Amino acid sequence: MDKYEKFRAENPLFIYRSFDITEKEDSVDIDFVFSIDGLADFHPGWSFPKPADISIKDDKTFSRLAFSLGLAEIVSYWKAVCAPEIKIECGHLSPEQVKWWKKLWFMGLGEFFYVNKITPDRDGFVNISSLPEDDFSSADTNKPLSGCLVPIGGGKDSALTLETLTSAGMDCKCYSINKRCSISATVETAGLPESSLLTAKRRFDRSLVALNEKGYLNGHTPFSSVVAFSAEITAYLNGLKYIVLSNEASANESTVVGQEVNHQYSKSFEFESDFHDYEEKYLRTGAYYFSFLRPLAEFQIAKMFVSHKKYLPIFRSCNLGSKVSPDIWCGECPKCLFVCLILSPFLGMDELTSVFGKDMLNDPEMLNYFIELAGQSEHKPFECVGSIDEVNLAVSLAIRRMRSNGEKLPLLFAEYEKMGLYHPDTIDELNSQCCGSYNDDNLLPDEFKTILTKEMERLL
C-alpha cells in the first residue's frame, strides 16, 4: 500500500470545525479550526485592515466571506493525508458549490498529485458534506462600490498593472498578504502613499510542517485561490468595486506536456472565470474579479515592463528570496532564470547582472533549468513561468542582438545554439505574432480594455 492509500485509510475524516470573527477598531481577525480526526488540530488565521468607521457586527455577508476563505485554506492542511471525506461543521454548501470546490482542489492539486505519483479519481478523491443550512448563505448586500484593488506581489506583472492604471487616472488601492520590501517599494515607486497599501496578515499553522517532517504528504496547492478569497474580503471592507489581478495568458499552459498538470492553475483563465461566477452566485458582494493582463503573454509584459526602468532595481519574483528580508533574487532557481531570460532581449548582460546580482546566463548550474524552460524535457519547472514558445523567442532575440553586436554568447545561449534550437529565419515572424497577439479569453470591462490597448499601442 502506498503512502496516499495508507494515510487515507488511517485518517478517513478531515473536519472544518469553525471560523471565529473578532472585530477591532481598525481590523478584523478571523480564526479557523481544522482537524484531521484523531491526528492533528490546526488553528490558522488572518487579520484584515478595515476603516475605523466601518462595522461588520451582524454582517452575514462578511460571515459568508470568512467561511469561504476557510474553504480555500483547508486544502493546505487536508493534503497531508488526503482524507476521503471532508466534513464541514460551520456552514452549508449546495451540490453545485461542492462540485465547484472539488474541481478547484482536483485541478489546483495537479502538481501535488503528479509529484507524489498519485492518480486519484476526479469524482471520488474526496466526498464533501456540510450543514443542511446556515444563517449567512442567503444574505444579500447592496453596498455602493468604486475604485480598484490591485494585489501586489512585488514582481513585474503587478508593477506593470499598477503603473498603467494609475497613469490612466484610475483610483487604486493595493493589496498584499503580509508585507515585503519589494511590495512596499512597488507602491512607493508608482507614486502612491503608504496608506494606499492594504496588508492582510496571514497566520499559517506550522504544526503542519511537523507532520510533513514525519513523512506525511506535502506539495503545491492553489495558493492564488487564497489570494482571490482574501482579496474579496479586503475589497468588501473597503468598498472597492474591481479586484484587478495581473495574471497573463501564458498561465494557461500546462506545466507537464500532454497532461492537465498546471502549476499555475489558480492563475489560469479557467479559474478566473470560475471564481468570477462563484462571486456572482454565492459571495454576492458586487465586486468584479478579473486579470488586467490576461490578454497578454509573458513576453509582451516583459517588453512593456522594461520601458518603466524605475522598477528594475526594486522588483522581485523569487519565491526562495521572498523568505528572507529584504527579499532578494536567489539567482539559483528556475523562476529567477525565467525572469532573466524573458528580459534578456531588452537588457544587456551588465544590466541583467545588475538586476539579479548574479550572471545566471554563464552559470553551468542553471543548464538543467534552462533545458526545461526551453521545452527540451518532460515538463517545465514547477514554478510560475511563461510558455515554452516565449522562452525560445526571448532567447533567440537575445542571441541575434548579441551576434549583431559582436558580443560573446553566454554559456546557456551557446548551448542553445549547439542543441540546434536557434532558427534566425523565423524570429521576426514569431516576434510579430507574439507582440501583436491579444487573447480574447478575458474578463476585462470595456474601460480597462481601452486603457490596456492604448498602452500596448504606445509600448509595443
Q: For position 430, what pLDDT does the model report?
A: 86
The amino acid present at 361, given as its one-letter code, is L
Rounded to 10 deg, the angle between the 156-167 and 181-189 helix axes is: 20
Asked if the bond preceding 193 is cis, omega within 30° of 0, the reply is no
Report CA-CA distances (Å) from 298 to 187, 261, 386. 22, 19, 6
pLDDT category at 251 given cuts 50, 70, 90 is confident
Residue 135 cell numbers, joined: 444563517
Q: For position 257, what pLDDT does the model report?
A: 61
Once rounded to an integer, what is the mean pLDDT over residues 46-55?
95
1 pLDDT higher than 60: no
Pick from 102-106, 262-266, 356-360: least confident: 262-266
DSSP state of 8: H
Q: What pLDDT, in 10s, does the model give residues 108-153? A: 999 999 999 999 988 889 999 999 999 999 877 778 899 999 999 9
From 30, 73, 72, select the one nearest 48 (Cα to Cα): 30
d(CA 82, CA 241): 37
Beta strands 242-245 and 288-291: pairing type? parallel
Q: What pLDDT, in 10s, does the model give residues 6-31? A: 999 999 999 999 999 999 999 999 99
d(CA 166, CA 311): 15
The helix/strand/coil state of 21 is strand
In this structure, the number of other CB atoms found within 10 A of the CB of residue 10 comes to: 12
Query: In 215-297, which ranges are E strands?
Result: 242-245, 288-291
380 pLDDT higher than 90: no
Report CA-CA distances (Å) from 270 to 262, 266, 382, 442. 11, 8, 19, 10
Quick one: what percent of the chain has pLDDT higher than 70?
Answer: 99
Sign of the torsion formed by the C-alpha atoms of 455, 191, 183 and 147: negative
Which residues neighbour 223 within 8 Å (Cβ) at sequence distance 6 or greater? 266
Instruction: Please give the full DSSP string across 101-169, using - where no structure is assigned.
Output: HHHHHHHHTHHHHHHTT----TTTS-EEE--S--SSTT--------SEEEE--SSHHHHHHHHHHHHTT
d(CA 456, CA 68): 36
Q: What pLDDT, in 10s, does the model give residues 192-226? A: 999 999 999 999 999 999 999 999 999 999 999 99
In the predicted model, what is the mean pLDDT of the chain? 93
d(CA 255, CA 383): 9
For residues 222 and 108, the answer to whether their CB atoms sit within 8 Å is yes
Q: What pLDDT, in 10s, does the model give residues 144-191? A: 899 999 999 999 999 999 999 999 999 999 999 998 999 999 999 999
For residues 379 and 253, the answer to whether their CB atoms sit within 8 Å is no
